A and B are shown apart, each in its own frame.
Chain A
Amino acid sequence: MKIVVDLQGAQNESRHRGIGRYALAFVKALIRNKGPHEVVVLLSDLFPESLAYAQDALGEQRTHCTIKIWSGIGPTDLRKPENHWRKDVSELMREAYIADLNPDVLIISSLLDSPGDNTIVSVSKLAPVYTVAMLYDLIPLLYKSEYLVDPTTQAWYYERLWQFKKADFWYAISESSRNDGIAQLGLPAAQVHNISAALGEDIVAVDLNAEQAAALKQKFGITRPFLLYSGAFDPRKNIDRLVHAYAAQHAEIRQVHQLVLAGGLNAPQLVHVNQLITAAGLDASQVIVTQRITDHELCALYGLCKAYILPTYCEGFGFTALEAMACGAPTIGSNYSSVPEVIGLPEALFDPFSVESIASKITQVLSDEAYRAMLFAHGPKQVQTFSWDHTACKALEALERLERDGVLRAKARSVVQPIASLGLSTVPQTSAPLSAHSRPQSKPPTAVALVTEITARIAAFAQTSQRPAVELQETASLVAGFLPRQDTRPRLFVDITELHATDSKSGIQRVVRSVIQHLLTDADAAYKVELVYAAKPLGYKTAVAFTRRMFGDGHLLNSTWGGRAADSNEGSDALSGNAAIGQDAYIHPRRGDIFLGLDLHFNIDQDHEHFFAQARRAGAHVYFVVYDLLPLLLKDTFTPELVEKYGNWLRVVSQQHGAVCISQAVAAELKAWVAQNQPAVAQSFDIDWFHLGADIESSIPSKGMPDDGSNLLQQLAAQPSFLAVGTLEPRKRHGQMLDAFEQLWAQNVAANLIIVGKPGWLTEALTTRLSAHPQLGRQLFWVQTASDEYLEKIYAAASCLIAASEAEGFGLPLIEAARHGLPIIARDIPVFREVAQEHVLYFAGDEGAALATVVQSWLALAKQQKTPDSRHIQRQTWAQSAQQLLSSVISAKDVTKIA
């Protein structure tokens, strides 16, 4: 059985009061005792600041239930007429969301409380769901003149009562509430079930030592043994009679005791109480009125008092009596309403409408030691009979009985509410379907039917014509969210922002191109791959045009738009003729989707940060590929702005689900950085790694030879040529290489140095040095841009690759050199050790001389053919690399959750 609990009671104003606490405790107990059933907790996002609170308040039960959040349009405070339309729309949204969940039973925690906020409750207005409503009390109905004073509150309450009565079953929190429901509202007795209540979790008996007790008493001015009342000061709490009863005590008793009234009062109530005290002939030393006190103080007072009194004549449950008994206070209370059930001892009760009755009980409890001892002994025993597990079990039993009797199934089969031909939002819809249109359905309405129905109803609302365009747009966007996707597979969104903007042919771009090539052809068919790019000003868009340009029509099995026959024959969306094909549309990640930030797009701004937060909230997983942490570890080789931007980007990345680094070395660095800079997320942030591939052919190589290309190749082939590939940056240490070779040329060593790479940042000095070098064109060569084809030929002509970077993310040139069988001289850094193992010649040192020495020793080794063979370096294809990346992003447990 699938039980959905609407927990707005823990989100709206009631969360500060007994109802909110009851709702939370009840849900937690329900989850604890659910057995084979499934519990879904439904929260409303019209209370955004309460979402985190509600989820945290569930504590460890959070992992045993599913939390779902539905979206509406606010504000929906019914007291203002301009909110009516939004309230109607939000009701439809909520019901549609619930219908989508397809529950067997819906329990509503807060139906009759909390006017004047965004609480949305409607019972089976759109689709029939078996609804259970919590019946706490009907006090406003019984005391209209106090609680339903102004017309708007009254109107609101009656509307809610009407919804309340449309429910199918009711949980009452006490016998007296149950009886009220049956008597006042005519609820059928068989459908109202008393599930009782229990003590709140934060009420524990407090043991104070002598000094603490004295301090507390001093704080409130308590000097003598006291009779305690705690709670509100509404008229039904009967404080008037209590004070009079206390005044009617004998002088001896009054002299030796005090009456403490604990609880928050507003100004008029305080005035009234003070007048009451004076009128009764008492003064401030005999009756103490505290202001709002903390739970801890209250529990302490329960423990310190001589007796606790609950004189109210109308309660839903009477939690304070239970609390007092649990904290060790002998408790007496009225014999009206639910108080007898809670106290459970007829001798402890009095007639609240008779001052003499109250007075005699007070006398008894304050002077009769044996009587008080009996109450004191009774308290804990009575408290044992109330427990949340017991309540939850009663509730579940009732539901299971209903399930066995087939009542739940019968409700689900009843007709869908017809399209509102009435169309008048302000007149409540009747719940009886039109007989002419009744058509029994054996399954819940399809999502498309739901959307059509909702759109028709909203269109029929009287005020739709006057709503501003932005509200209609927001509504449309929410309604469209219910539409299923054409391809129901979960999505793998791959971010290619930089590649989409400009293909800068950098190393990272090559990685991106290679990976997406393989993702689009070989990816796991369980996911549909979509290339996306960051759209200004917000969100991400599918790169349909780009994909078509890159990969052509229809070659690929798993592309965004072409391909499988199954896709094109899939039932078309009832609403749209699919004009979206061919256009870049915004993406809306849903539960089960994955977002992979493949491209290095660190110019991220706040809106995209929100996008990721939204995606995570919707249940999608967000991962990023981290290429290196160089801007943060070698700060002085980068411009300050870049360092700051990169740091910000990494901060955003660390908020997501995880990152996949391109080498173990980088993964270690990232772990250290996160532990140091974002310790809060260090535990939950997943860091994995994968190695890049090396086959250039499959990464869509570019072609083109410059005019003097063949000339250069000839010169390279003439004598040993040392190759350095990569953008000119300070950390690549081209300067050191140049120093080394200048030394060698000074010693007339025959060796060429060819540098392939564009000038990057902070390299003006180097660039000048290179362009003005005397050996440029003779033994020194500098190729700024080379197509892949040209680069291949240079590799073929060169004798050895020099990788002198101070730090790298991976070192793709090493792998590429290995593919060409080119020997390598590399700086001894961890990532090169990881990638190339022992198949290169390592050097260390920052001076040109160090490198020059190694070059010479390499030349010596080369003569004897004893240079380390780079062909032994382990490398993998891009296909393998993409697979490695995917597997770290799609874990097995995710796949099962999607089903």
Chain B
Amino acid sequence: MTEPLAPTDAAPATAAHKQSAAPDAQTLSELDDFSRAWHAKMYGSRATVQARLFCYLPFVLPLLHAYPKAAALDLRCGQGEWLETLSDTGFTAQGVDEDAALVAHCQHLGFQAQAKAALLALQACADQSYALISGFGLAEALPFQTLKQVVQESLRVLKPGGLLILQAVNPENIVVSSNQGFLDPTRRQPIPRALLAFVPEHAGFAQTKAIPLNEQFSLAVQQPVSLLNVLQDVSPLYAVIAQKSSDGLSAPLTIKAFDYDYGLSLETLASLFDQQIETKIQDAAASAARAEAALAAIHGSFMWRVTRPIRWTEQQVEQLQEDGVGTRVVAFVEKMHRLLVRQVLARVTGRRGFSRVQRYLEKVSHQQALVVAQRHALLAEQRKIPLDPAIIQQAYQTRERIETLSPEAQEIYQRLQQVGSTQRSNPAPQVDVPAAQPGLAVDQSKAAANSSVQPRS
């Protein structure tokens, strides 16, 4: 983090940089072979990459009105996609990159490019020589001090009303910032939107806007938001676009694009997601309420009552099929028997001369009640879950210890509690030695062995 990237050529470097010159150069070229292939694989074809850059056109086109064939400087131009877009638009684009091979590639494509460190390239520029300075992924590749200097120099180098564009990976996008953002091995660390936006503001740019970009997800289309959307569909990139004040120009260079809102933030997606869930819950509750109301209406309706015999017959048929004829007949007979006993008992109770009958009937009715109760109890029994008695005994033992404290035990408990509170207010230095460290224990054991050899007197 602390060592800056060294320049690849013999540009004047401070003493601190000199030491790391040779090895870094080698490392860089190795890396870039790799990163080129990786870049191609991960970011897609040239056309795809360029398509992503079109979102900047609303910002940069007004510059051409003020400065026809304006000069544009792309720091870290890479494979030159932005250079191409700029030239097609009408800018005179020049590129700077530290990787000589990439620079050669750009030159081969017909653009002007230099292999230089970004800061050095800027320092070599004249005041107010460019209308547009851009750095895609530059902010993350540079140490922060260097970044600040770059921004400062840009302010000097830009023409009045000129733009500085810095693009970076949006840390707000959880998936990108943790995973995909580091597809580029030279990227050092994510830089938050607020911080990057503050740098040009502090440097003295007149207008600064931080814009989330490049989201795939569109709110315009009313699609449901899934959790994955919340995690990965927040704008993956953002750009800080800063405009130098137009002092010195005849007419102020206004760029309308600054006035609009862009991008999809994490808060928006997350709250959409929550709202969705809320709505689903409410819908479910509402439909449940409706179903209950409908059911109540049905149960209260005349037709339901009228069809009771039919339903009863159906149920009986079902039970008959399930239990068999024999069981049903027996159940029926039992039921009739119970009814009969109850009726006769009601008539006979209290009448003289029928005491014996009454006693007999009472006995019978008790037995019947017991049989019915037992049947219910058996059903209930079947649902019981057998528990290991040892566990129950253990649980009881612990409960008994805790809930039946004798007065002496209460005192001891309070004493231990007080200790707790005094320890909390004056925490003693916690010596958190693990149970025993091998060497320590053996030494101590040897020491103890020696002491235990002496006879105790």
Contacts and interface: CB of A to CB of B under 8 A. Distances in A.
A166 B448 contact: yes
B420 interface: yes
Interface in A419-470: 423-424, 426-428, 430-432, 451, 455, 458-460, 462, 464-467, 469-470
A588 B405 CA distance: 9
Contacts of B343: none
A446 B199 CA distance: 77
Given A155-B435, A614-B400, A640-B369, A476 B448 contact: no
Contact of A186 (B393, B404, B421, B446): B446
A411 interface: yes
A602 interface: no
B427 to A, nearest CB: 8
B222 interface: no
B109 interface: no
B311 interface: no
Contact of B409 (A186, A414, A476): A476
Contacts of A539: 400, 403-404
A336 interface: no
A769 B350 CA distance: 7
Interface string A461-486: 01011110110111111111001000
Contact of A430 (B355, B405, B448): B448
Nearest to B421: A465
A635 to B, nearest CB: 8
Interface string A590-621: 00000000000000001100110110000000
Given A155-B434, A464-B423, A459 B405 contact: no
Interface in B341-356: 349-350, 355
Contact of B433 (A426, A464, A483): A426
Interface stretch (B43-51, B186-194, B230-238, B411-419): B411-419
B441 A158 contact: yes
Contact of B405 (A162, A473, A575, A614): A473
B456 interface: yes
A162 B435 contact: no
A641 B152 CA distance: 93
Contacts of A186: 446, 449
B416 A49 contact: no
16 contacts: A159-B436, A159-B441, A161-B441, A162-B445, A165-B449, A166-B448, A424-B431, A426-B432, A455-B415, A472-B416, A477-B402, A586-B406, A614-B397, A636-B363, A636-B366, A765-B350
A363 B393 CA distance: 59
A9 interface: no
Which of B350, B410, B413, B436 has most chain A Cβ within 10 Å? B436
B366 A431 contact: no
Nearest to B364: A636
Contacts of B393: 48, 610, 613
B416 A432 contact: no
A640 B373 contact: yes
Given A459-B416, A474-B398, A585-B407, 8 more contacts: A165-B449, A426-B431, A465-B423, A472-B413, A479-B412, A480-B408, A578-B407, A614-B396
A614 B445 CA distance: 40
Interface residues of B, number: 64
A455 B402 contact: no
B93 to A, nearest CB: 61
Contacts of B449: 165, 185-187
A13 to B, nearest CB: 17
Nearest to A407: B455
Contact of A476 (B416, B432, B433): B416
B434 to A, nearest CB: 6
A580 B396 contact: no
Interface string A534-551: 000111000000000000
Given A187-B449, A426-B434, A480 B412 contact: yes
B218 to A, nearest CB: 51
Contact of B435 (A84, A410, A455, A606): A84
B27 interface: no
B390 interface: yes
Given A162-B441, A165-B448, A476-B405, A739 B436 contact: no
B397 A538 contact: no
A129 to B, nearest CB: 12
Interface string B424-457: 1000101111111110011011101101110111
B383 interface: no
B350 to A, nearest CB: 6
A162 B436 contact: yes
Given A411-B456, A428-B436, A480-B412, A472 B445 contact: no
Contact of A473 (B401, B421, B435): B401
A470 B434 contact: no
A87 to B, nearest CB: 9
B179 interface: no
Contacts of B410: 476
Query: A-B pairs with the 10 shortest C-beta distances?
Result: A480-B409, A586-B404, A476-B413, A465-B420, A465-B423, A158-B441, A610-B396, A459-B419, A162-B445, A476-B412
A473 B413 contact: yes
A843 interface: no
A579 interface: yes
A502 B363 CA distance: 32
Nearest to A639: B366
A473 B402 contact: yes
B428 A159 contact: no
Nearest to B366: A636
B interface, over-half SS: helix
Interface string A152-173: 1011101101100110100000
Contacts of B394: 48
B399 interface: yes
Contacts of B397: 610, 614
B370 interface: yes
A271 B451 CA distance: 48
Which of B362, B393, B400, B408 has most chain A Cβ within 10 Å? B408
A188 interface: yes
Contacts of B358: 765
A462 B424 CA distance: 10
Contacts of B424: 465
A362 interface: no
Which of A423, A431, A474, A613 has most chain B Cβ within 10 Å? A474
A165 B406 contact: no
Interface in B324-376: 349-350, 355, 358, 362-363, 366-367, 369-370, 373
A683 interface: no
A63 interface: no
Contacts of A483: 408
A410 B432 CA distance: 36
Contact of A414 (B363, B370, B456): B456
A137 B213 CA distance: 71
B409 A155 contact: no
Nearest to A415: B456
A462 B437 contact: no
Contacts of A427: 431, 433
A765 B399 contact: no
Contacts of A610: 392-393, 396-397, 400
A573 interface: yes
A477 B405 contact: yes
B402 A470 contact: yes
A78 interface: yes
A161 B441 CA distance: 9
A444 B400 CA distance: 30
A166 B420 CA distance: 32
B407 to A, nearest CB: 4
Given A426-B432, A465-B424, A480-B412, A640 B404 contact: no
Contacts of B436: 155-156, 158-159, 162, 428
A455 B437 CA distance: 28
A132 B430 CA distance: 34
